[in-house]
Amino acid sequence: MPPRKGKPKRRTLMQILRGVRRRARRLAGRVRRAQQRSLQLRVVTSTLVISVTVVAVLGFFLMQQFTTTVVQGRVAAAGKDALADRTAIVGQLNEQTADPDDQGAGGSGDPRQSATDLPIDRAATALANRAGESSRYTVIIRNLTIPGAYRATNEIDPRSIPTKLEHDLRDAEPNEPIPQLTSSLYHIGDPEPQPGLVIGVRVDNGYEIFHFFPLTEEAELLSSVRQALVVVGIALVLLLAAIASLVTRQVVTPVRLARQAAERLAAGRLEERLQVRGEDDLARLAASFNEMAANLALKIHQLEELSQVQRQFVSDVSHELRTPLTTVRMAADLLYEAREGFDASAARAAELMQAQLERFESMLADLLEISRYDAGAATLDIDSVDVRNVVLRAVADSEALGEKQGTRFDLRLPSEPCMAEIDSRRVERILRNLLFNAIEHGEGKEIVVTVGADRDAVAVAVRDHGVGLRPGEENMVFDRFWRADPSRARTIGGTGLGLAISREDAMLHGGWLQAWGSPGEGSQFRLSLPRAAGSELKGSPLSLVPPEIEMRRTWRGHVTPALTAGPGDRVLDGGVS
């Protein structure tokens, strides 16, 4: 038996509306991004909006003026016809009724049109003859002394009399015509109303005369004019948008070419130039850009030559200094070993010379290493090792210096191996430099060393509780020979190149070396390396900001900024990772 299919879920109206809103927001976001990215689109859109507004206002004004002119002309002509008719029939209406028992003579057969006076019949007949065609105008004569008594020409329905006009006639003076536009002129046998003009007047002898002038032709004329204005307005708006697009394109295209050339120039293609056409402002801009590019290329070439000379000079001097340094080192060792036979001042001089020679040798080695990085000659000796063992060796090398400064190490290592393909010698040197830096600036407080790992990366964080770093110093700390406080002497004899070399070693592995610090809260340096050599590092298993700082700031309701986040860093619980 085949399995029964479940009934499909019917989407509710709220779900459909939410889906429509989401799509509308996405569409609005795309349009907004397109406008932000395109100057031409912004100019054309602005021109289109302004043009639509101007054309709409102008069209509305013209339509109002045209409608007023047509209606006023029709009202004036209708007023003349109504006045002439009233003058012609007032005498007939003033005549006395010949036979009070004569019902409906000359009427239309409608009981409501029954009357007892023949003058109203003669007056209606006279008005019908004066009007001629029924399309010109029609008339209703109503006897106020007999309720419901009226005469109409050309089958006009009394429903056509506006209620407001009837009220106005009651309050108006006799023989004072009152015009009113209406959209409801009804004829007997025709259920569809027509637009028209009604002119009503109350005469002295108890009659009301209503003239009905159809405005069908005028309405058709106004509709045609309205359609013409809409068509012309749309065409004008599109034409203005096309003109704005063409004009803007003439300006935007050279700017876009200049932007593309600038991007290629920034990418290192120093031979990039723009074509100069004409002598206008854009042509002068292209010429200035070409001149700037040429000068920039010349300066960069000069700086490259100078940098090459400096690197070569440092390398040559470092190599040349090794031979005399070896000789001086041998003599200093002899003097240091025989210092017990010297007097106090000579023995102290031998000790100082020994210490400074060791520092000089360390600086010379660092200079040679830096020159290899500058020359692009540094290479890695990759091997799969357990990062925990590398950390233990670096800590063991730093314990003697830590004991001298009164510093204790707190190791937080995972229980499982953290294997990674790295150059253990260079990584161990990075960790020694980080530990020496933490000892020097940790003010004798505990140093925490944490190792973390995930599927793609390993990380080591060195945390001290010393003076910390001020805002903006997180990147400057890796500059060569940089010190946060120039007046502060180096207590452990560093060369000022350790962190700079450490960053170069980390970048050589495809990893990151980052720093976090806060005055009074210490600092933390984090080394992140990919597990597989040559793979791209997308994140770090350890947070750059210490966990206790994160918890404290979260508890206080502060927002932790992502400090010195490297490329591809993830943000975990408010911290950079």
Write phi, then psi, for 567 (nearest 5 degrees). Answer: -65, 130
DSSP state of 159: G
Q: How confident is the model at residue 372 (pLDDT cuts 50, 70, 90)?
A: low
Residue 442: which of 415, 470, 406, 487 has the closest Cα? Answer: 406
Q: Packing angle between helix 39-94 and helix 13-37, nearest 10 degrees?
A: 120
* Radius of gyration over every alpha carbon of the chain, rounded to an integer in angstroms: 50
The pLDDT value given to residue 524:
92
DSSP 353-410: HHHHHHHHHHHHHHHHHHHHHHHT------EEEEHHHHHHHHHHHHHHHHHHHT--EE
The pLDDT value given to residue 142:
82
Query: Kind of pairing, strands 447-453 and 419-422?
Result: unpaired
The model carries a pTM of: 0.45
Question: Could you report the per-residue pLDDT of 2-12, keeping only the tens digit for each?
Answer: 555 544 455 67
pLDDT of 257 above 50: yes
In angstroms, rounded to a whole number, what is the distance separating the alpha carbons of residues 50 and 36? Answer: 19
pLDDT of 104 above 60: no
Question: Could you report the per-residue pLDDT of 142-200, keeping only the tens digit for each?
Answer: 877 777 777 777 778 888 888 888 888 887 888 788 888 888 888 777 778 888 888 88
pLDDT of 98 above 50: no
Write phi, then psi, for 410 (nearest 5 degrees). Answer: -115, 105
pLDDT of 377 above 80: no
- Rounded mean pLDDT of the chain? 77
DSSP state of 156: B
The two structure tokens encoding residue 392: 């233990």
Question: Could you report the per-residue pLDDT of 278-327, keeping only the tens digit for each?
Answer: 777 778 888 888 888 888 888 888 877 777 776 677 667 766 777 787 78
pLDDT of 564 above 60: no
Which percentage of the chain shows pLDDT scores above 70?
81
Q: Which of 41-50, 118-127, 261-270, 497-506 has the lowest mean pLDDT?
A: 118-127
The pLDDT value given to residue 315:
66
Q: How confident is the model at residue 348 (pLDDT cuts 50, 70, 90)?
A: confident
Longest dimension (CA), the chain: 167
Question: 576 or 480: whose pLDDT is higher?
Answer: 480
pLDDT of 566 above 60: no
Q: What is the mean pLDDT of residues 462-488?
A: 76
The two structure tokens encoding residue 397: 């090398």
CATH of 17-95+117-270, one of 3.40.50.300, 3.30.450.20, 2.40.50.140, 3.50.50.60: 3.30.450.20
pLDDT of 527 above 90: yes
Residue 568 CB partners (closer than 8 Å, separation 6+): 536, 537, 538, 539
Report whether CATH 1.10.287.130 matches the domain 273-378: yes
Q: What is the mean pLDDT of residues 469-474?
A: 82
Question: Could you report the per-residue pLDDT of 396-452, keeping only the tens digit for each?
Answer: 888 888 888 888 899 999 989 899 999 888 898 899 889 988 888 888 889 999 999
pLDDT of 459 above 90: yes
Question: 446 or 480: whose pLDDT is higher?
Answer: 446
The pLDDT value given to residue 107:
39
The two structure tokens encoding residue 301: 């070439």
Per-domain residue ranges of the chain:
17-95+117-270, 273-378, 381-485+492-556
The pLDDT value given to residue 494:
55
Report whether CATH 3.30.565.10 matches the domain 381-485+492-556: yes
